Amino acid sequence: MQIDPALFEENERTNPAENHRQFAEVGSLACNAGGVLPSVTVAYETWGTYTGDNAVLVCHALSGDSHATGWWSRIVGPGMPIDTSRFFVIGTNALGGCQGTTGPASNAPDGNPYGSRFPIITIEDMVEVQGRLLKQLGISELLCVAGGSMGGMQALEWTIQAPIPVRKAFITASSSSHNAMQIGFNEAARQAIMRDPKWKGGDYAVNDQPVDGLSIARMVGHLSFLSEQAFDIKFGRKLQKKEAFDYKLGVEFEVESYLNYQGDKFTTRFDANSLLIFSKAVDYYRVESLVGSESDYLVASFSTDWLYPPHQSEAIHQMALRAGCRSRHLQIDLPYGHDAFLLDAEYQGAALTRFLAE
Amino acid sequence: MQIDPALFEENERTNPAENHRQFAEVGSLACNAGGVLPSVTVAYETWGTYTGDNAVLVCHALSGDSHATGWWSRIVGPGMPIDTSRFFVIGTNALGGCQGTTGPASNAPDGNPYGSRFPIITIEDMVEVQGRLLKQLGISELLCVAGGSMGGMQALEWTIQAPIPVRKAFITASSSSHNAMQIGFNEAARQAIMRDPKWKGGDYAVNDQPVDGLSIARMVGHLSFLSEQAFDIKFGRKLQKKEAFDYKLGVEFEVESYLNYQGDKFTTRFDANSLLIFSKAVDYYRVESLVGSESDYLVASFSTDWLYPPHQSEAIHQMALRAGCRSRHLQIDLPYGHDAFLLDAEYQGAALTRFLAE
């Protein structure tokens, strides 16, 4: 297998300029878990021209946003599998997020941030809000809904709720239900935030969030995004800008510097409460049947993705077949771990291109 | 494969009553990494009667202590593979620990805890200190040195330094060198401690340590000790003492409760600075050759141990063969992840019994 270490760098490009972000008001929401949001704003972006049968909705993972041509630049763009010169592509920031859509850092009607008052959100709520937006935009059918990780859960849920008809769903590196290990990683991340004194029960000032807890949470995330092999390719035992150990508690190895850098950088663009809300949403999610779905499925997984192991994708595929749907599961042998869904254009990209042309 | 979920509970028994812990003064130590300890105390326990050719040293992992019949009750005890009715068994608390051997929480000559002044310790230093103790005890040869994880590194190092001759080494679930992923997990744990405001640069009061950071660090550890399969067997998606979700940020699933419990319990028996010192020791360790070793090796690994994957044990085995030593690598198919080295008596135990009888 040919390994290109430079590939890993692509994963840095997840939050570029806000570009042509737009906003829509989609009304009040009675949340699936019981809470109420008096009004919901959705941040979204579109690319291309709508022709009635070419709409593709792209759903982001835990740390993403509406800018799908940024964080999924190998999949979404002109000439890419989700070809913005042929399709009308919509990216939205998920409900509960911190990139323009209503979330814990948004102001409640009293003019103060929701903070601890923000309700628990489910994947079902995210899809409800996206459905309202797409109806407002005059979209009557989705050619495809696509997403990886948490985005794959939204894509899966779209084929169940189908607020507008969904012809195809591309679900990569995802799951119909978190297992105990996935919940465990999320819980360690949540505790890192919630045990930071600066979290203050969720009611911190927006410009003074629990940065250390959030940074630790993101480090735990990055540990789960790479595989052992990916860590070895990327870092090995290389030292951080030195020839010999300093023998101190601080950074010695490159991998240590990387984790601290990723953790700290994340705190400049992401709200700690949004991470809590998203991580709960994916832990709660569980699909047991796709009976009634009218969609075709392309499910992709990666051999070294131990966070979302291929057998979880196979379970989605089998569930789709049992529901009488057309489905394919593509298991891809790449060394990049969970991050592969962001990095791989070649294998999942080719399959997605064919899937969209069928 | 027969799975007994009750097996997992055994892992709780890592820190029972202190029993017949003894203490020895082994003098000052010029540490491998440059620091100096003016005097070193070693906490140790022994079982059985020394007959000149029956001494077995048991080395503990990161969270263990001298009480080998406690944390390794399936391997060490009367009638067990390391049979305390036949062998003279010695357990020591490793240098840098917090169970009686000199560590960061011990008082320096000025009467205050070392804290941030405690030097970086290496696996080589741990073995030097154990060697001095065994010489004091009048032991002229080790029939065997045995350990798992960090204890396996000490066992491996014993065959290199051999302060007294070592006939056999049993090294289970361990490595001759941490890879980037292993260092990464340790770094996330270290940062959780060091970013806790109560850490205070390492100079906290011994009775007021950074409990939240230490608890998070331990949760990260536990995530790496189990396998996906072990998490599923042990917890699945079972809820914590309820029938339905509460939809809140707190604990919903049993696995969340388990991680918080393990994390918090750990803070009542372990010093945060000792965790830092031990985790650095294992990250620094690297063996590239066993040329000169006079020992026989039994190396064991577990199929689902992704923290210390079997290929790392195979590397030790191959290194031993290249050095002209007798060696065997036993790869055991069990679902318990890294914890398997504490839980498995049947497979590694049988092999160890034969190895000691050869």
The C-alpha of A327 sits at a distance from chain B's nearest C-alpha, in angstroms, of 26
Residues of A annotated catalytic, as ranges: 149, 305, 338
Nearest to A33 among B183, B234, B247 (CB): B247
pLDDT, residue B20, reads: 85
One domain, residues B274 and B312: no
Instruction: Find the CB nearest A179 among B231, B248, B251.
Output: B231
Angle at A303 between CA A302 and CA A309, to 5 degrees: 75
Is A202 in the same domain as A163?
no
Instruction: State in Å, rounded, how far the first CA of chain B is from the last one.
Output: 29
Query: Which residues lie below 8 Å from residue A59, measured CB to CB, with a gap of 6+?
Result: A92, A94, A126, A130, A145, A146, A147, A150, A151, A152, A154, A155, A158
Global ipTM: 0.94
Question: What is the rounded distance in angstroms from the CA atom of residue A356 to the CA atom of residue A144?
Answer: 8
Structure tokens at B277: 């010192």
Provide the pLDDT for residue A20.
Answer: 85
B198 and B258 belong to one structural domain: yes
Q: What is the pLDDT of residue B206?
A: 87
Out of A278, A302, A318, a domain closes at A278
Same domain, B65 and B154: yes
State the smallest CA–CA distance between residue B152 and chain A in angstroms: 20
Is residue B205 located within the same domain as residue B74? no
Beta carbons within 8 Å of B17's beta carbon, 6+ residues apart: none
The alpha carbon of B51 is separated from its chain's Cα centroid by a whole number of angstroms, namely: 27
Q: Please report where in the chains the tokens 């009686």 appear, as a residue.
A: B100
Q: Give the CA count within 13 Å in the CB-facing half-sphere of A68.
A: 31
Tell me the per-residue pLDDT of B249-268, one tens digit each, with 9 for 90 and over. 999 999 999 999 999 999 99
Last residue of a domain, one of A244, A278, A312: A278
Instruction: Return the residue in A256, A266, A276 with the most chain B beta carbons within 10 A, the one to mutate for interface testing.
Output: A256
pLDDT, mean of residues B104-118: 97
Question: Can you tell me the mean pLDDT for B71-94?
Answer: 98
Distance (Å) from the C-alpha of residue B142 to the closest C-alpha of chain A?
Answer: 31
Are B180 and A232 within 8 A, CB to CB? yes
Q: How far is A185 from chain B (nearest CA, A)?
A: 7
In tens, the pLDDT along B147-156 reads 999 999 999 9
Which residue numbers of B are catalytic? 149, 305, 338
> Quick check: B255 and A120 CB within 8 A?
no
The structure tokens 């960090």 sit at: B150
Give dist(CA B54, CA B38) in Å, integer.
Answer: 33
pLDDT one digit per residue (tens) for chain A, 358 residues: 344 444 444 444 444 444 689 999 999 999 999 999 999 999 999 999 999 999 999 999 999 999 999 999 999 999 999 999 999 999 999 999 999 999 999 999 999 999 999 999 999 999 999 999 999 999 999 999 999 999 999 999 999 999 999 999 999 999 999 999 999 999 999 999 999 999 999 999 989 999 999 999 999 999 999 999 999 999 999 999 999 999 999 999 999 999 999 999 999 999 999 999 999 999 999 999 999 999 999 999 999 999 999 999 999 999 999 999 999 999 999 999 999 999 999 999 999 999 999 9
Report CB contact under 8 Å: A220, B184: no
Greatest Cα pair distance, chain B, in angstroms, is 63
How many other CB atoms sit within 10 Å of the CB of residue B73? 17
Q: Do A231 and B284 touch (CB under 8 A)?
A: no
One-letter amino acid for residue A41 of the chain: T
Domain that holds residue B261: 182-278
Q: Do A216 and B263 touch (CB under 8 A)?
A: no
Chain A residues in contact with B191 (beta carbon < 8 A): 215-216, 219, 259-260, 263
Could you tell me if B147 and B293 lie in one domain? Answer: yes
Cβ contact A187–B235 (<8 Å): no
Q: Are residues B46 and B133 in the same domain?
A: yes
- DSSP-derived pairing of the beta strands B166-172 and B296-302: parallel
Report the C-alpha gap between A91 and A93 in whole angstroms: 7
The secondary element (H helix, E strand) that includes residue A92 is: strand A88-92
Cβ contact (<8 Å) for B252 and A283? yes
d(CA A243, nearest CA chain B) in Å: 14
Q: How far is it, in rounded angstroms, from Cα A191 to Cα A213? A: 8
- Domain identity same for B200 and B337: no
Asked if B140 and B23 sit in the same domain, the reply is: yes
Q: At what angle do helices B272-284 and B123-136 cross, to 10 degrees?
A: 100
Asked if B226 and A181 come within 8 Å (Cβ–Cβ), the reply is yes
Residues B54 and B187 in one domain: no
pLDDT at position A19 is 61
Spatial distance between the Cα atoms of A57 and A66, rounded to a whole number of angstroms:
10
pLDDT tens digits for B132-178? Answer: 999 999 999 999 999 999 999 999 999 999 999 999 999 999 999 99
**For residue B309, which residues of chain A lie inside 8 Å, CB to CB?**
228
Chain B residues in contact with A96 by the CB 8 A cut-off are none
Please state, in angstroms and rounded to a whole number, the distance separating the CA atoms of residues A124 and A131. Answer: 10
Of B183, B249, B306, the CB nearest to A190: B249
CATH code of the domain covering residue B209: 1.10.1740.110
Q: Name the residue facing A249 among B181, B184, B280 (closest C-beta).
A: B280
pTM of the full structure:
0.95
Last residue of a domain, one of B244, B259, B278: B278
Q: Are residues A164 and A42 in the same domain?
A: yes
Cα–Cα distance for residue pair B330/B310, rounded to 1 Å: 9
By C-alpha distance, the chain B residue nearest A35 is: B247
Q: Do A226 and B252 touch (CB under 8 A)?
A: no
Mutate to test the interface with B, among A116, A181, A261 (most CBs of B within 10 A): A181
| Chain B residues within 8 A of A280 when measuring between CB atoms | 249
How near does any CA of chain A get to the CA of B127, in Å? 18
Query: What is the SS3 assignment for chain B?
Result: CCCCHHHHHHHHCCCCCCCCCEEEECCCEECCCCCEECCCEEEEEEECCCCCCCEEEEECCCCCCCCHHHHCCCCEECCCCEECCCCEEEEECCCCCCCCCCCCCCECCCCCECHHHCCCCCHHHHHHHHHHHHHHCCCCCEEEEEEECHHHHHHHHHHHHCCCCEEEEEEECCCCECCHHHHHHHHHHHHHHHCCHHHHHHCCCCCCCCHHHHHHHHHHHHHHHCCHHHHHHHCCCCECCCCCCCCCCCCCEHHHHHHHHHHHHHCCCCCHHHHHHHHHHHHHCECCCCCCCCCEEEEEEECCCCCCCHHHHHHHHHHHHHCCCCEEEEEECCCCHHHHHHHCCCHHHHHHHHHHHC
Pair (B115, B11) in one structural domain: yes
Instruction: Look at the block and give the residue holding tokens 């990666």.
Output: A302
Residues of B in contact with A249 (CB under 8 A): 120, 190, 194, 202, 276, 280
Report the phi/psi class of residue A96: left, alpha or beta, with left for phi > 0 and alpha for psi in -120 to 50. left
- Provide the CATH number for the domain around residue B309: 3.40.50.1820
Average predicted confidence (pLDDT) for chain A: 95
**Of residues A180, A196, A247, nearest to B231 (C-beta):** A180
Of B187, B247, B309, which has the smallest distance from its Cβ to A228's Cβ? B309
> Under a CB-based contact definition with an 8 Å cutoff, are residues A170 and A298 in contact?
yes
pLDDT tens track for B313-352: 999 999 999 999 999 999 999 999 999 999 999 999 999 9
What count of Cα atoms within 13 Å lies in the side-chain half-sphere of residue A183?
29
| A183–B216 C-beta distance less than 8 A | no
Residue B19 pLDDT class (50, 70, 90 cuts): low
**One-letter identity of residue B327:** S
- Total domains in chain B come to 2
Contact A184 B259 (CB under 8 A): yes
